[in-house]
Chain A
Amino acid sequence: MTTTVQSNPPAIEVHDLVVRYGGGRRAMKTPPAVDGVCFDIAPGETLGLVGESGSGKSTIGKALLGLQPPTEGTIWLHGKDVTTASLKERRTLASELRVVFQDPYSSLNPARRIGQTLAESLRLIGIKGDAARARAITTLESVGLPSDSIDRFPSQFSGGQRQRIAIARALVRDPNVLVLDEPVSALDLSTQAQVLNLLADLRDEHKLAYLFIAHDLGVVRFLAHRVVVLYRGQVMESGPVEDVTSRPRHPYSVALTAAAPVPRPAEQIDRRAHREALSVGSASTAPPDPKGCPFASRCPLADGQCHAERPMLRLIGGQRVACHHAEQVGVTWPPPPN
């Protein structure tokens, strides 16, 4: 997905990423967790990554972070190829590329004070002692936590506060790219709103680029500028977030947007009727035919071509869509609810 010609390289660029778990002949038979994914993120931009569980969202994040080596493809960070960066190179990269995980309970070591957790990260780039402490305090304050948090343990904080600490941990090395792996999924609604607002504030203040992984389209729509819809490791559709959520062109995106319930009963009655009229099938556990469209077993529009030929991403309107029949979507399908 190459956007307009820029003088600056994108903060992150991923080309034809393939990730397989495990090695050996057996692993080659199962379809890869991530299969030929391309995207880029400009500085200050947020790219949303949505899809059902198991679709490969976190694997993409792990590949960027060097936690899971890519099988094929290239990853550039500010124009520099980091696909196979060594641990040592990662140590400097780690200052530019940071992560916030979903589970605020497991992502902080319960046996360490907040200050130790932040300092540990700073020590790796040679900042120690009082300098590290001062920087840790500034960072905690920048995410809205009091400075005395530094001497406390994770168990003394609520879920939302822990997520702020996890964000502080990511920010303490002054990065410019953050991988946010479902950072609000484990939080309550009101806390989720606090953390989303915080992420938006930090992004606008520091021009951070976010890869924002989520399964909730509403949340993605709030934070992201562009979105990539993933199904079984492949990109089904990508484009500006308003377009993809309000005028989806891929049958899977249609099903995904229709399934998200809204808290407005009158509107939800219509949405439910719309959703039930789609007649999109349930997911089966059988792996799809690698030759055809991965969504074919559930798709009401599937025909012979869909089973025989894997659709490539095509530019339709402002969106890229991997579907042979994308032109019909939104025109002759879905049928009006009866």
Chain B
Amino acid sequence: MSSIRQAKHQRIPAFLRSWGGVFGAGWLIFMFLASITARWWRPYDVAEQDLIARLQGPSSEYWLGTDAVGRDLFSRVFTAGALPLQASAVMVLVAFGIGLPLILIAAERGGRVEEAIGRFAETIMSLPSTVILLAAIGAIGNRIYPVMMIFGLLVSAALYRILIGVAKSSRQHLYIDAARVDGMGSIRVNLAHVLPSMARPIAVQAAIVYAIGLLIINGLAFLGFGPGEPQPSWGFMIKDASDNIFNSPWMMVPPGVALSLTVMAANALADALAGPLGIPEYTPPKRRRTISASPAQQSEGTDNLALSVRDLSVVVEGGPTLVSGISFDLRQGEVMGLVGESGCGKTMTARSLLGLLPAGVEVSSGSIIWQGRQIAGLPERDAIKIRGREIAMISQEPMVALDPLFSVKSQLTRPLRRFRGVGRREARRIALELLRQVGIVDAERVLRCYPHQLSGGMAQRVAIALALTGSPKLLIADEPTTALDVTVQAEILSLLRALVAETGMSVLLVSHDLGVVADICDRIAVMYSGQVVEAGTVAEVLEDPYHPYTMALLGANPHVADDAPEPERLAAISGSVPPPGNWPEGCRFADRCQFAASECSVAFEPEPAHVDGMSLCIRTGELRRTGAQWAPEHRGAELAVESEAP
């Protein structure tokens, strides 16, 4: 099976692949090592005074100058690093030592335990931390480590607030349940599975808290709570420098730079650990593409043609082709199904019609003629006039289309006012009408609802109503019922059918379910590896498929006729869809095809098939003549070991 991808071992941790991470980690390690070893290599003792060379700038004798009593700033700055770097680390350890167990227990037990721990954390967080710190110093004296441990306790409550959500979502992973089913104890589950999956947020928070600790320690030193003279500290050195700011402004530089670089390093490390933010956003293509096919080449004699796609190719910029040479027509009022396995390019094809391809993915050639106009690679400012008004889209996850922060009413009336130029009152009336049109009985109540108050089926109805606000002539429905229960799916399919009959719009339905396509579509295009491999009317293609891939998909479907016996084994297709960039020469299905022969490995043209359809198989004619059928698996076939990955 070719889909076992080659192992790509990345020995360098991700956070060290950015400059911030290298600087952050590098500086902290350097400063730490330099400061704890300073006593052995520093040129002067920290207390050694040279009263002749007071308040000096850098010189060959004193590299970073001297302070008001002639002590060497170079020696003092490096020596001063040791205490804050270590005390802050102790604070971080205490904070996580207290916080993490509480977080893990709360996430595991939930309910009352979580509530109690949450209350406790909130109580601690509501205490004024500065006052407590000063009170602690008052009580236990000027001892930095115990004071920072108390501060660590306060911080652990904040950590709880930040990390409890991470812990809870990490417990949702099914592998945690699987480990528990194994009989693995609670502590082991937490150590082996929960904590490692939280490693990144924990590391980020640790770096942030560390930076805060450094600032607090030096802030306290600035106020006079720190290592007593003559022991140096950055905070006290800054205080000293500010007292002498008019005599020797230079004095501020060494401790100031050391402190800010160290705090910056911890923050840079936190940023690098957090990694790049989220997924790349959609940016519609800005440039106009060179489009090869001219509109004149449209198929002739098609009076009510709404959409005509010719030789459409979609590529990743500087990367593989995702969709190649797709052609199909869609008439007014017609419903077409685009089917195929995941990764065949169905979604990319559908999105290219709306100019909504992900960043870095673009139409490279071919044409999309919509109502006689070329819309492939249209600049955003023109595409936006078509999107929503003429061509609308609904997706698998209705909640993606609905904004959780706004009521159904405001989500429907805003586009209505924009698309139809109507007033507030009229928009509300149309919104109600649309909700009734999508089969919502208590439209008044639903209008006041927020998305989270709607069930999946209801949300999909509202999403369809939203798509209808611009009175589109083409609706692109990407797996509109995949996330729904079968009874709800049936309702939505009936609704779409009624809408097509009522409004005369066309629908392009993306689905992997041949039953859904049989229910609602007039025509079908079967996709495999970025190509259409068979097209025609639904009745012809599904009742009498020409292409081996279509035959196999039908054979893999367990929905037999009511009175037919269930097959012993289904017709599986061995292997999996080859990833883009890894498509074989000639027929892309050849690796998995039961009928593959030598002629299949050279490029060939689609054969006409059905009425006005096609089949992209060089052996189409021969297979038809011999009446070839895709054979189901024999018993036990799945137990045979796959061939090794290439």
Contacts and interface: CB of A to CB of B under 8 A. Distances in A.
A29 interface: no
Interface in B82-139: 111-112
A117 B182 CA distance: 11
B572 A188 contact: no
A155 to B, nearest CB: 8
Contact of B518 (A90, A193, A218, A268): A268
A52 interface: yes
Contacts of B539: 265-266
B641 interface: yes
Interface stretch (A2-10, A12-20, A72-80, A92-100): A92-100
A141 interface: yes
A216 interface: yes
A197 B178 contact: no
B404 to A, nearest CB: 17
B13 interface: no
A130 interface: no
B487 A263 contact: no
Contacts of A155: 5
Instruction: Point out which of A91, A156, A194 has the most chain B C-beta atoms below 10 A from its C-beta.
Output: A194
A276 interface: yes
Interface in A272-312: 272, 275-276, 280, 282-283, 285
Given A87-B183, A201-B636, A222-B566, A152 B7 contact: yes
A23 B640 CA distance: 49
B487 A280 contact: yes
Instruction: Point out which of A107, A109, A258, A267 has the most chain B C-beta atoms below 10 A from its C-beta.
Output: A109
Given A107-B174, A124-B184, A161-B1, A215 B518 contact: no
A256 B487 CA distance: 6
A120 B179 contact: yes
A190 to B, nearest CB: 4
A66 B542 CA distance: 45
B180 A67 contact: yes
Contacts of B532: none
B283 interface: no
B556 A283 contact: no
B523 to A, nearest CB: 11
Contact of B638 (A53, A65, A197, A275): A197
Contact of A169 (B178, B562, B573): B178
A144 B571 contact: no
A127 interface: no
B533 interface: no
Contact of B175 (A67, A106, A283): A106
Given A107-B178, A262-B561, A217 B486 contact: yes
Nearest to B559: A218
B540 to A, nearest CB: 9
Interface string A90-125: 111110011101110011110100000100110010
B391 interface: no
Given A222-B570, A265-B539, A67 B182 contact: no
Interface residues of B, number: 86
B294 interface: no
Contact of A189 (B7, B553, B644): B553
Contacts of B591: none
Given A193-B556, A193-B571, A267-B561, A262 B518 contact: yes
Instruction: Point out which of A90, A188, A197, A204 has the most chain B C-beta atoms below 10 A from its C-beta.
Output: A197
A248 to B, nearest CB: 11
A142 interface: yes
Instruction: Point out which of B111, B490, B519, B562 has the most chain A C-beta atoms below 10 A from its C-beta.
Output: B490
B635 A204 contact: yes
A216 B482 CA distance: 12
Interface stretch (B160-168, B360-368, B371-379, B509-517): B509-517
A184 to B, nearest CB: 10
B175 A107 contact: yes
Nearest to B2: A158
A25 interface: no
Interface in A223-277: 242, 245-246, 255-256, 258-268, 272, 275-276
B490 A23 contact: no
Contacts of B491: 282
A156 B4 contact: yes
B637 interface: yes
Nearest to B561: A267
Nearest to A146: B644
Contacts of B516: 261
A190 B552 contact: yes
A93 B183 contact: yes
B180 to A, nearest CB: 6
B437 to A, nearest CB: 15
A190 B489 contact: no
Interface residues of A, number: 96
Contact of B512 (A143, A189, A264): A189
B559 A142 contact: no
Contacts of A245: 562
Nearest to B643: A146
B26 interface: no
B245 interface: no
Nearest to A241: B566
Contacts of A266: 539, 543
Interface in B555-585: 555-563, 566-574, 576
B183 A124 contact: yes
A29 B571 CA distance: 48
Interface stretch (B191-199, B464-472, B499-507, B614-622): B191-199
A6 to B, nearest CB: 25
Contact of B455 (A87, A99, A217, A283): A283
Contact of B182 (A120, A160, A275): A120
B182 to A, nearest CB: 5
Interface string B176-220: 011111111110000011001100000000000000000000000
B556 A52 contact: no
Interface in A173-228: 173, 188-194, 196-198, 200-202, 204-205, 215-219, 221-222
10 contacts: A22-B111, A52-B487, A146-B641, A189-B341, A190-B573, A193-B555, A221-B566, A262-B515, A263-B542, A266-B543
Interface of A: 22-23, 52-53, 62, 65-67, 87-88, 90-94, 97-99, 101-103, 106-109, 111, 117, 120-121, 124, 141-149, 152-153, 155-161, 166, 169, 173, 188-194, 196-198, 200-202, 204-205, 215-219, 221-222, 242, 245-246, 255-256, 258-268, 272, 275-276, 280, 282-283, 285
Given A143-B639, A219-B558, 9 more contacts: A65-B181, A99-B178, A101-B178, A109-B173, A124-B182, A191-B341, A193-B555, A215-B485, A260-B486
Interface of B: 1, 3-7, 111-112, 172-175, 177-186, 192-193, 196-197, 341-342, 455-457, 485-491, 493-494, 512-519, 538-539, 542-543, 552-563, 566-574, 576, 633, 635-645
9 residue pairs, one from A and one from B, having the closest CB atoms = A91-B183, A261-B515, A263-B514, A193-B556, A218-B559, A190-B573, A107-B174, A259-B490, A193-B570
